[in-house]
Amino acid sequence: MVKSGMQVTDMKLGKIISMVGGDGEFSYQRMGVLQASAIKTLEPLMAEAVKQMSLPKQGPLHIADFGCSTGRNSISYINFIVKCIIDRYLEASENNGHVTCMPEMLVSFMDLPGNDFNNLVQLLASEAKNAKDLAGSVNGANVGRASNYFSTMMGGSFYNRLLPKESMHFVISTFSLHWMSQIPAAVTDPNSPLYNKGRSWILGSDPAIAREFAQQSMLDLDNFLSSRAVEMAPGGIVFAYFTSRQDAANPENQTNPECHDCCFVGTDFENAWNDLIDDGVITVETRDTFNIPMYRRSKEEVEASIIKCGAFDIQYLQLWDDYSICPQDELMHMLQFPKSFATFLSAWVRAMLGPIMEAHMGRHNTDEFYVRYQRCITARVTSLLSNPKAQQKYKIFSTSFLLVVLKRKVLST
Ligand SMILES: C[S@@+](CC[C@H](N)C(=O)[O-])C[C@H]1O[C@@H](n2cnc3c(N)ncnc32)[C@H](O)[C@@H]1O
């Protein structure tokens, strides 16, 4: 358990970043539904990526999920990937006219040490039970065991080495790589010209402050790639999906400027902080020393890092601009009910940011923050009711996303 009252300035982020665990009202298990449906749309691309993977000559075939969180979404896309791999072996058997021996599969679920791995363990146990109940009714390779794969869990930062050399064949990471390993020191130093005063993130900040974030984030990505370069077997695949931005030249535009009012950590989020200060719940310094450890890299920044690393061929690198993880008609329906929409949005944001906010200013102040955040959202959404045009533009679940598929180059001997 993380002690509250620490500043996001001086604590080790790796110990406190986590999504809300368990299955309660703010849990990622419940609130990660939008991410789950977005990942579902990636399945054809995942299937394609599995086809591009070089198959190991002997087992085990090792899959890893970097940033698995509490498990619900992760287990779902891992099951899909495993199914695609099994299909590949079955197809190979059909084509060869003899059984192509399928290796045993091992899935490593990775996240930071503060992650609720207990939840994941329990979900995996019920998956295994379901698979066992199904066993016997389905014919085919690997079916009939408790589960199609063995699993292991590891708490550590994906910005470091976590696994043995050349041991991995397929790596996936979704909605995770925009998290930073640390906040740059100058940004949280009240005596520094780069002190991020008056806001809790870099959206619309002084460009020099946003560039500090950019530098740290690029260092993080370099470390991610160089670590995976060692861990991946030749021909292994990295499939990574994370939030990005379109404006490559200006990192302070983490979302397009016209979207600041409809970014979930944009205007209303900052107004909730201001209300918290105005109501005397926290000091200005408490807000100013909190920074969301998130940076949306541009496609250009990511491409430069991959080229610098030199260990991977780019199979796919695409920016989806202004992509909504919630269908527009569903969102329009939700907006008709401002209060319940505000409750949902607030719980969705809290599932991701709650733990670091509580570590920074305690549970009570975080509760108070989300009361104000809900109020700001309710007021905005109510004001949109009489303005259908403005309502259409309130794309709260839209942002840019980057999908990167990399193949580990074959090592020269
Ligand atoms: C929004 S969740 C994504 C969970 C799941 N992949 C999905 O798409 O629903 C992001 C996860 O990344 C993890 N994370 C952030 N920084 C990390 C790091 N440096 N190393 C490992 N995991 C990290 C967080 O703890 C969190 O569980």
Domain spans of the chain?
Answer: 13-408
Average the pLDDT over 72-100 and give the result: 87
pLDDT tens, position by position, 293-338: 999 999 999 999 999 999 999 999 999 988 888 888 899 999 999 9
pLDDT at 352 over 90: yes
Higher pLDDT, 135 or 262: 262
Confidence at residue 59, expressed as pLDDT on a 0 to 100 scale: 81
Confidence at residue 14, expressed as pLDDT on a 0 to 100 scale: 73
CA 252 to ligand 1 centroid distance, Å: 23
pLDDT tens, position by position, 99-144: 677 889 999 999 999 999 999 999 988 877 666 554 444 444 444 3
pLDDT tens, position by position, 13-44: 777 778 888 888 788 888 888 888 889 999 99
Nearest ligand 1 atom, CA 115 = 25
CA 112 to ligand 1 centroid distance, Å: 7
Average the pLDDT over 83-87 and give the result: 93
Average the pLDDT over 164-177 and give the result: 97
Long-range contacts of 360-367 (CB under 8 A, 24+ apart): 360/4, 360/5, 360/6, 360/7, 360/8, 360/286, 360/289, 360/290, 361/4, 361/5, 361/282, 361/286, 361/290, 362/4, 362/5, 363/4, 365/276, 365/281, 365/282, 365/286
Cβ 157 under 6 angstroms from ligand 1: yes
CA 349 to ligand 1 centroid distance, Å: 14
Q: Is the dihedral of CA 359, 360, 363, 369 positive or negative?
A: negative
Cβ 175 under 6 angstroms from ligand 1: yes
Half-sphere exposure of 395 (CA within 13 A, CB side): 15
Average pLDDT, the chain: 89
Cβ 243 under 6 angstroms from ligand 1: no
Nearest ligand 1 atom, CA 14 = 19
Higher pLDDT, 78 or 4: 78
CA 132 to ligand 1 centroid distance, Å: 29
**Is the Cβ–Cβ distance between 396 and 264 less than 8 Å?**
yes
Nearest ligand 1 atom, CA 114 = 25
Percent over 90 (pLDDT), the chain: 69
Q: pTM of the predicted model, to two decimals? A: 0.91
Confidence at residue 17, expressed as pLDDT on a 0 to 100 scale: 79
Taking the domain 13-408, which CATH number applies?
3.40.50.150
Confidence at residue 147, expressed as pLDDT on a 0 to 100 scale: 66
Residue 201 backbone class (left: φ over 0; alpha: ψ -120 to 50; beta: rest): beta
CA 69 to ligand 1 centroid distance, Å: 5
pLDDT at 8 over 60: no
pLDDT tens, position by position, 209-260: 999 999 999 999 999 999 999 999 999 999 999 999 999 999 999 998 778 8
Confidence at residue 412, expressed as pLDDT on a 0 to 100 scale: 63
Confidence at residue 133, expressed as pLDDT on a 0 to 100 scale: 55
pLDDT at 285 over 60: yes
Pocket mutation for ligand 1, best pick of 80, 176, 180 (most atoms within 8 Å of C-beta): 176
Distance CA 149, CA 407 (A): 23
Grade residue 47 by pLDDT with cuts at 50, 70 and 90: very high
CA 360 to ligand 1 centroid distance, Å: 19
Confidence at residue 50, expressed as pLDDT on a 0 to 100 scale: 97
